[in-house]
Amino acid sequence: MSKSVRAKSGEVEMVSALRPATFEDAAEWYEFASSGHFWFEWRLAALRRMLAHVGIPLDQSARALDVGCGTGVLRSQLEANTPWIVDGADLNLPALQAAPPGRGTILYYDIEEMQSRFVEAYDVVTCCDVIEHIDDTGPFMRAVVRHLKPGGVLLLSVPALPGLHSAYDEAAGHVRRYTAQTLSAECEDLSLDVLDVRYWGFAMVPLLWLRKLWVKPREGDVSVLREGFVPPGDLAHAGLRAIMRLELALLRRPPLGSSVMLVARRRAADA
């Protein structure tokens, strides 16, 4: 039977046995993660556009699981913009303890255990900026899909363009960056039908090239993450948010981007 651990607000349900944080090399990154950051706003806008494009209603009730939820930024955004009940699962206990309460449950849960109460329990599973941290994604992706109901929807988002891999990616624990093709390949042989895959953050590509040149590796130095992710002041942040809005208005399907997103549906019956 699972137990709960007190968090800063609400509780974390301890479904799995406590273990070292999976992504501990990037633990400091959570200090900079907030829904007010332009990048998180951009990712949410891209997600909503993708789901609307493939006909997934955002105004109807659904039960969702945010895998690798961290401090719950995406989970909170989804619950604020939809009537969904969103559970969040992660293996970074300090991050989960910092997550705000919501309609869903905060779970310390290794999804590869595939516990029966969660298997085929969700209409939607989101897994955003997670699989780029994993060396062998096969078992993890199979576990992700098993949490979807037949006919349920999976949404993935990952850093894009291998040529942009930099000291920031190393500090953040990124094993790889993806293309549309390599992200689609993650869904092969998984009883999934890919509905759409597209880049987002086209205007960020030259900025990430500059980041690659500017941010130098400094082992154990959290400033690498800060320099690579936090805009240098309010004016810069406002400018980046304006770029985001302009791109969203002008480009429905960018030819490239700093990230790539995929939406797929689990087949109603496995082949």
Check residue 217 and give its pLDDT: 73
Looking at the predicted structure, is the pLDDT value of residue 262 above 50?
yes
Check residue 216 and give its pLDDT: 80
Band of pLDDT at residue 29, cut at 50, 70 and 90: low
Indicate the pTM of the whole model.
0.92
pLDDT tens for residues 187-237?
999 999 999 999 999 999 999 999 999 888 766 556 788 888 888 899 999
Band of pLDDT at residue 25, cut at 50, 70 and 90: very low
Q: Average pLDDT in the 30-45 region? A: 88
Looking at the predicted structure, is the pLDDT value of residue 30 above 90?
no
In Å, how far are 12, 32, 99, 204, 223 from 9, measured between CA atoms? Answer: 9, 19, 7, 34, 28
Which of these ranges, 21-25, 168-172, 188-192, 259-263, has the smallest mean pLDDT?
A: 21-25
Check residue 232 and give its pLDDT: 86
The full set of domain ranges for the chain reads 3-266
Match 């992710």 to its residue by tokens.
Answer: 229
Domain 3-266 has CATH 3.40.50.150: yes
Band of pLDDT at residue 35, cut at 50, 70 and 90: confident
Q: Which of 86, 177, 198, 77 is nearest to 131 (CA)?
A: 177
pLDDT tens for residues 80-110?
999 999 999 999 998 899 999 999 999 999 9
Please check whether residue 125 is in contact with residue 152, taking contact to mean a CB–CB distance below 8 angstroms.
Answer: yes
* Long-range contacts (CB closer than 8 Å, 24 or more residues apart) made by 217-226: 217/167, 217/170, 217/171, 218/167, 221/171, 222/28, 222/31, 224/167, 224/168, 224/171, 225/26, 225/28, 225/29, 225/32, 225/168, 225/171, 225/172, 226/32
Distance (Å, rounded) from C-alpha 68 to C-alpha 30?
12
Rg (CA), the chain: 18
Band of pLDDT at residue 271, cut at 50, 70 and 90: very low
Looking at the predicted structure, is the pLDDT value of residue 42 above 70?
yes
